[in-house]
């Protein structure tokens, strides 16, 4: 896996069920926020991708495994790592950790599409370059 980006998330009441355990769907929201911040860290905001590159990412598939529950008020780290980049897709591995212990792990397949056509297009060269530079900095 390439260099890993980590985004801290605090578990709030709205993320949990009545027992104070994080609701399974909340993990998807945590991972989405981490992917958004990962792109921002690389210099690509969603608005910038839309305006400058006329593209967006759509999630083609997401596979998740839950190992241990997170609870109300936990401080979690949500990671994003690039596993593979194809012409129009990026495969990411994401983990949700509490104190460096993996609570959940997901594989995410995102497809780069034209903003107007929603058809696959090439991942922008500038984004590929930023991902490669990020990987080199962390090796």
Query: What superfamily would CATH give domain 4-138?
Result: Hotdog Thioesterase (3.10.129.10)
Give the domain ranges of the chain.
Answer: 4-138
DSSP 3-state of 134: helix
Give residue 8's pLDDT band: very low, low, confident or very high (50, 70, 90).
very high
Q: What percentage of the chain reaches a pLDDT higher than 90?
A: 88
Give residue 138's pLDDT band: very low, low, confident or very high (50, 70, 90).
low
Res 135 pLDDT > 80:
no
Res 24 pLDDT > 60:
yes
Residue with the two structure tokens 């930023």: 130
Select which of 17, 41, 73, 74 is catalytic: 17
17 a catalytic residue: yes
**Is the CB of residue 33 less than 8 Å from the CB of residue 9?**
yes
- Taking only the tens place, the pLDDT of each residue in 91-121 is 999 999 999 999 999 999 999 999 999 999 9
Adjacent-strand bridge partners of 92: 82, 108
Prediction pTM value: 0.91
What pLDDT was estimated at residue 108?
98
- Token digits of residue 67: 């190992």
Mean pLDDT across the chain: 93
């Amino acid at each position: 896996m390439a260099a890993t980006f980590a985004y801290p998330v605090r578990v709030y009441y709205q993320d949990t069920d009545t027992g104070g355990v994080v609701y399974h769907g909340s993990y998807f929201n945590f991972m989405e926020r981490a992917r958004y911040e990962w792109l921002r860290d690389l210099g690509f905001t969603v608005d910038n991708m839309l305006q400058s590159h006329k593209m967006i990412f759509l999630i083609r598939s997401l596979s998740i495994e839950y190992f241990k529950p997170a609870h109300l008020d936990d401080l979690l780290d949500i990671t994003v790592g690039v596993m593979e980049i194809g012409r129009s897709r990026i495969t990411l591995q994401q983990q949700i950790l509490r104190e460096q212990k993996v609570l959940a792990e997901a594989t995410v397949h995102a497809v780069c599409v034209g903003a107007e056509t929603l058809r696959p297009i090439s991942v922008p060269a500038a984004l590929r370059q930023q991902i490669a530079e990020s990987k080199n900095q962390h090796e």
